[in-house]
Structure 1
């Protein structure tokens, strides 16, 4: 039964001890396969340029607001502007084996008063895409948001025609919440925006599934998964064997 006020009207769950959440900080988030570092244009530009240049074409930028970057100075200028920005707050994915920057993502649309934040501007190079590190990078940022910053809601939004992004959101445990029609004009075209989110009450199951999926026992000698991430969420107490 919903909570009722003195007039018998249903109202939302009381948050008697709520306070505004802190802003994301310039910290390093360390994982087994990768780490997230706050953007440093001077340090990361060359690595990122080389990583993005490894793509066969520009299709990875079709649904992005920025890019592609065919010249080094274009990317450097973009990163320099982004580095001074607090929202979005960008983090660079560093591969732990090569110690090279291989992609980036950001915390954005930061609403600290309501504890709502979005992950976006996900630009993973071919060196990072579809790797264990790519999933771990998302996990590191999720864990930071829910367990250190203590936000209540974590959002994912994308072009409604961007099938890979929509699939990634569902795989990671986000729930589809609907489509905002004609929400954005970008790159000279109209965009309907698909909304996904997870909340703090969802996090324990999502966290345990990601931890179990990332466990080395969940992969064979060829690095292939034994159980999928969606399977892990259905059986969160189980450990891969």
Structure 2
């Protein structure tokens, strides 16, 4: 358990590249990543449900998509990363560190948009692991995940990744003209070591075989 009397504020993330086994995370750069992200997130093979619970999109025109990317790339909160497939080198999705509060050691993973090529592969799981690892290496006490309470897919992902459910903020936001009740999840610094071991076991060569996973992420965390 963190001794809050001796705790010092966390370091702010800078957006340096992060290398994993299946992916590489790079700070979002619309000039370098835009064409491939447009294809991955809005092209003919894109996930039709991708934008259902996000506060933006879908984008009928490339100009609007580029404007959205440029807005996300311009700031440092959210700090957006592009997910690059290490095997083929293509940009296949984005996610961010956001709600960054170094003085309290609080940070969130959000703005998650994974293309169809990332789904049902280890790549999305590794992206979340790499940002979680960075968050706690920077000295944060708390990593958050928030989503629309109606978004069953995101809630299931949070639980699978090892986030602890904390409750629902009712009538929290208005998104695309609809009420959003927001489900809150977190991992704390004292919980992270066990969660990280589960991620590492699941991502290992022993567990990720050419035919698929040997054990689920939940099983790797329990063991």
Q: Measure, in 1, the Cα distance between the counterparts of 2:114 and 2:11.
A: 27
Q: 1:204 and 2:193 equivalent?
A: yes
Q: Give yes or no for contact 2:166–2:185 (8 Å, CA) kept in 1.
A: yes
**Tell me, which stretches of 5 or more residues in structure 1 are unaligned?**
1-11, 236-241
Alpha carbons of structure 1 residues 102 and 144: separation in structure 2 relative to 1, 3 Å: same
**Quick check: 2:9–2:139 contact (8 Å CA) kept in 1?**
no
SS at match of 1:59: coil
Question: What's the counterpart of residue 59 of structure 2?
Answer: 69
Match of 2:14, SS state, is coil
Q: Indicate the residue corresponding to 1:43 in structure 2.
A: 32
Say whether the 8 Å CA contact 1:58–1:68 is kept in structure 2: no
Task: Give the alignment's Cα RMSD to 1 decimal.
Answer: 1.5
Cα distance change on mapping 1:221 and 1:115 into 2, 3 Å: same
Structure 1 CA distance for aligned equivalents of residues 209 and 44 of structure 2: 27
* Equivalence for 1:85: 75
2:101 matches 1:108: no
1:226 counterpart residue number: 214
Question: Quick one: higher RCO (CA 8 Å, sep 6+), 1 or 2?
Answer: 2
CA contact (8 A) 2:40 2:46 kept: no
CA-CA distance at 1:55 after TM superposition: 3.5
Gaps of 5+ in 2: none
How many residues are paired up?
A: 222
Q: Distance in 1 between the 2:126 and 2:2 partners?
A: 33
Instruction: Tell me by how many angstroms 1:14 deviates.
Output: 4.8
CA deviation map 1:172-191 (0-9, x unaligned): 00000001111010100001
Distance 2:2 2:57 in 1: 43
Q: 1:187 to 1:20 in 2, by over 3 A?
A: same
Task: Give me the TM-score of the superposition, normalised by structure 1.
Answer: 0.88
Q: Secondary structure at the residue paired with 2:124?
A: helix
Rounded Cα–Cα distance in structure 1 between residues aligned with 2:44 and 2:173:
30
Structure number with bigger Rg = 1
Aligned counterpart, 1:126: 116
Q: TM-score, normalised by structure 2?
A: 0.95
| Contact 1:176 1:196 survives alignment (8 Å) | yes
The 8 Å contact of residues 29 and 140 in structure 1, kept in 2 or not, is answered as yes
Q: Distance in 1 between matches of 2:210 and 2:145?
A: 33
